[in-house]
Amino acid sequence: GLSAASPQPPPRWSQGRKRGADGKRRKQNDPDSSVFDENKYRPSDGRLDSFTTPEGPGPVSRCSDWGTAVEEDEMRTSVNKEIARYRRKLLINEFARERKSSSGSSDSKESTVTVELETDEVVLMRRQKQINYGKNTIAYDRYIKEVPRCHRIPGVHPRTPNKFKKYSRRSWDQQIKLWKVALHSWDPPTEEGCDLQEISPVDLGEMETESVGSNSTESQTSCQDNDDTCSGTPTKVRHIDCQAEGEFDLEVCLSEPLKDFDTVS
């Protein structure tokens, strides 16, 4: 859900809120308007430039650029899937731990109280974007290629901050900073002006499998369902490494008998 207004004036970081305390959508010219605002132009027909639908999953960013709207949509749905998945994992771990402790003696085991998770969509999306910036680097690619997640040593190898845990804004930003600094150890050997460090961050293909599961108790299970880190070349470097894999002869393909293409709904 979206955060409710606090009694003090909202800190800068919370100005991603789409609604005021009364639940009404914030107007476009609201001084506290969304950090997602990318309005370069108003639509000439004067419609609101948002695409909230009553049955939809919630307010969509106010940007009037379809390309960006789709990308944010994708990020939002991915984040929602991830949080569901993360919750299930926590539940499973909790269950497993309870079973162990009930069969043995009950000494000072870690409390299995359900921890409060960060669920504010705005916060999660912001954190995800920050993570994406860090992951869309050559350093990160080299890192995951070199050190599969199952071989990571806690404390030695950088670990992606867990966006679902509750942290203050400062704490989170600091974690991200330290993480990115740590990743620099995997920067490619410097040639003249290696300026491809930060590519534009749209690697959502990896999100599902990689960003969840930075909790140490999950490192076992998460390795199995993550193809990327434990095998094969990360997708981003593949196109640099591989040469042309042969040509695509359209003439041949057009002359072959037609087959059904039925993998789409």
Site residues for other proteins per CB under 8 A: 43-44, 47, 51, 53-57, 60, 65-71, 73-74, 77-78, 81, 136, 200, 202-206, 235-236, 238-239, 242, 244-251, 253-254, 256, 258-261, 264-265
User: Which CB, 42 or 151, lies closer to other proteins?
Assistant: 42
Q: How far is the CB of 93 from other proteins (least distance, A)?
A: 25
Q: How far apart are CA 217 and CA 115, in angstroms?
A: 14
In the bound complex, what is the minimum distance in angstroms from residue 16's beta carbon to other proteins? 18
Query: Considering the complex, what minimum distance in angstroms separates the CB of residue 25 from other proteins?
Result: 15
Task: Name the packing angle between helices 121-135 and 169-183 (round to 10°).
Answer: 10
Between 166 and 238, CB nearer to other proteins: 238
CB-nearer residue toward other proteins: 54 or 104 = 54
Nearer Cβ to other proteins (104/246)? 246
- Burial track 26-37 (b if 16+ CB lie within 10 A, e otherwise): beeeeeebbebe
Each residue of 165-185: b (16+ CB within 10 Å) or e?
bebeeeebeebbeebbebbee
| CB-based burial label for 137 (10 Å; 0-12, 13-18, 19+) | buried
CB of 132 to other proteins, least distance (A): 10
Nearer to other proteins, 69 or 131 (CB): 69
CA–CA dist 1, 4 (Å, integer): 9
Helix (H) or strand (E) holding 264: none
**Which stretches within the chain are classed as H helix?**
66-103, 121-135, 138-146, 169-183, 207-210, 219-224, 227-230, 235-241, 250-255
Q: How far is the CB of 224 from other proteins (least distance, A)?
A: 21
Between 131 and 172, name the residue whose CB sits nearer to other proteins: 131
Least spacing, CB of residue 133 vs other proteins, in Å: 14
